[in-house]
Amino acid sequence: MKTYGLLGYPLGHSFSKGFFTKKFKAEGLSDHEYINFAYSEITEAVKHLRGNPEILGFNITIPHKVNILPYLDSMDPLCSAIQSCNCVKVEKGRWKGFNTDVLGFEYSLNPLLKPAHKNALVFGTGGASKAIVFVLRKLGMEVLQVSRTPGKGVASYEALSVDILKTHTVWVNTTPVGLAPDSESVLPLDFNQIGSAHLVYDLIYNPEKSKLLQKAAQMGATIKNGMEMLVIQAEESWKIWKS
């Protein structure tokens, strides 16, 4: 068997297994499989995955995109620049890290951008946020990251003034807040400051319209969920594994 999979924890919400299983079937690849590797501890995951010669590649999701870095044998330049990995290719037992979230986010965001989108707020400082911040800065935006534990250049939710919320017209949620089954949860933000010039992007795709996106839509903002990004990053992973 040629085995691919998704490493993360928990994996209840995972889309990738269904996506690749359908893809392999459609392409007649009956000796290919895509399975979930649900490990909360990265050391346990590495012990299991390293010893299996059938594993040719895997994706990585919450909470291991950064945890995996010390276990990679090499990284492609993008993965190395961002220091976050969501795709590993295994060749002769060696692990090479890639980041396909970058393309997924950039390609799905681009058609929605307007000249007024110059300042962005990125909620969360985990693995996915690194790809998001990288893309927004590459596009020339000023980015302010927001965290529950603020620090140098990273604001707290409480510190977001009316002015900041109004002038930062791109908001990106990279936290799991609002993800099913906790779909009633929402970040502690003053949604009244959202206007029609705002673009609110939530990396969450389940539910299709998170509480954050519902509130943003009510205020007239353009909204986008994480589904297109997810599909693009998966297609890019497949290109890497096939190459």
* Contact status: 207 vs ligand NAP (CB under 6 A): no
Residue among 23, 47, 65, 130 flagged as catalytic: 65
* Contact status: 62 vs ligand NAP (CB under 6 A): yes
Helix (H, G, I), strand (E, B) or coil at 222: strand
Residue showing the smallest CB distance to ligand NAP in the complex: 126
Q: Which two tokens stand for residue 159?
A: 């510190």
Report the nearest approach of ligand NAP to the CB of residue 54 (Å). 26
> How far is it, in rounded angstroms, from Cα 37 to Cα 49?
9
* Contact status: 128 vs ligand NAP (CB under 6 A): yes
Helix (H, G, I), strand (E, B) or coil at 75: strand
Give Cα 35 distance to the centre of its chain: 19
Report the nearest approach of ligand NAP to the CB of residue 154 (Å). 7
Are 99 and 84 in contact by the 8 Å Cβ rule? The answer is: yes
In this structure, are strands 94-98 and 87-91 parallel, antiparallel, or unpaired? antiparallel
Single residue of 71, 72, 126, 235 touching ligand NAP by CB under 6 A: 126
Nearest CB to ligand NAP, comparing residues 30 and 149: 149
130 is catalytic: no
Single residue of 36, 99, 100, 125 touching ligand NAP by CB under 6 A: 125
Contacts of 14 (CB under 8 A, 6+ apart): 6, 8, 36, 61
Would you tell me which residues interact with ligand NAP (CB under 6 A)? 61-63, 65, 101, 104, 124-129, 147-149, 174-177, 179, 203-205, 226, 229-230, 233
Give the catalytic positions in this structure.
65
